[in-house]
Amino acid sequence: MISGKFGEIGELIFEIDLIAADTERYPIDVLLDTGFTTGYLALDIQDAESLGWSILQSNRTMRMARGEEYFDVYEGWVFLDEREYIIPVLAGSGISEPLLGLQWLKILPLAVNFAAGMLTLG
């Protein structure tokens, strides 16, 4: 189980580790995005490339709030809840902050209690 924190306006923020191709770990804060229903993780393309991950698919079209966007899909390695996961990672230009998608909630339970200041995943 990992503990998260609440952002200034109630965002759900967790720290995970990205694992580069050379096995180096990079801790990052990610925002759990309730509108990101089709994936596990979204990053800026430069971040995915710098980790040395393998590309699985180029130019996947996805419908976004602002219209259709193109993403590359990488085989990503993350460390979360004391486990390593290999997941498809959507990478695109202009993603300002890493996003966790709702697909995680199919395998890990989420507990949120604003009044108690409690936020956990796993």
- List, in sequence order, the alpha helices (H) in 1-122: 45-50
Report pLDDT for 81. 87
- Whether the CB-CB separation of 60 and 90 falls below 8 Å is answered with yes
For 48-104, write each residue's pLDDT tens digit: 999 999 999 999 887 766 677 889 999 999 999 899 999 999 999 988 899 999 999
Tokens of 24: 């180096």
Burial class (CB in 10 A: 0-12, 13-18, 19+), 81: middle
Q: Which domains does the chain have, with CATH numbers?
A: 2-121 (2.40.70.10)
Helix, coil or strand: residue 97 = coil
pTM reported for the whole predicted model: 0.90
